[in-house]
Amino acid sequence: MAISYATVTWDQLHRDARLLAEQLIAEGPFQGIVAITRGGLIPAAIIGRELDCRLIESISVVSYDQQGEGEQRQGEPKVIKAPAAAGDGDGFLIVDDLVDSGVTAQLVRRLLPKAYFACLYAKPSGRPYTDRFVVEVPQETWILFPWDTAPLFVPPLARKSV
């Protein structure tokens, strides 16, 4: 299966986070938010602002091992920072940027079984583990988030060597 790439800009991320927040108003109010680091930090900040929720906790889960130059392999997920303020998740909203395979989401849901899980983007394998998302993307699509990319100079086509 060929991998395709989708680039999410800062503007698009902000619009999608606000759209998600708008949908979440009916599910709240939430006493706090648990951001799954690192990808959930920025969406959680935007959603926290829109929902007027100031308690933002985090959970840090590591599930990818660095293999070599740029290569990563998903391994067994490990919690390296627990969300102490969230208890069993009652009254809390879990926020992430993407649910991909669902490995991280399953772990977090086991730790916070009473929380509501929302993310910006969902792939088919991870979709069953989220309560709400904004955009479904194909499983073979690799999302390039704004914090993963940098603008680069691209020469005009007329200067491109043939």
pLDDT digits (tens, 9 = 90+) for 2-26: 689 999 999 999 999 999 999 999 9
Domains of the chain: 4-64+73-149 (3.40.50.2020)
> Structure pTM?
0.85
Tell me, yes or no, if 100 is annotated catalytic. Answer: yes
Catalytic residue among 88, 96, 131, 148: 96
To the query of whether residue 52 is one of the catalytic residues in this protein, the response is no
Among 52, 65, 90, 97, the active-site one is 97
| Residue 90 falls in the annotated catalytic set | no
| pLDDT tens per residue, range 82-126 | 999 999 999 999 999 999 999 999 999 999 999 999 999 999 999
Sheet holding 132-136, edge to edge: 72-81, 56-66, 32-37, 92-99, 116-122, 132-136
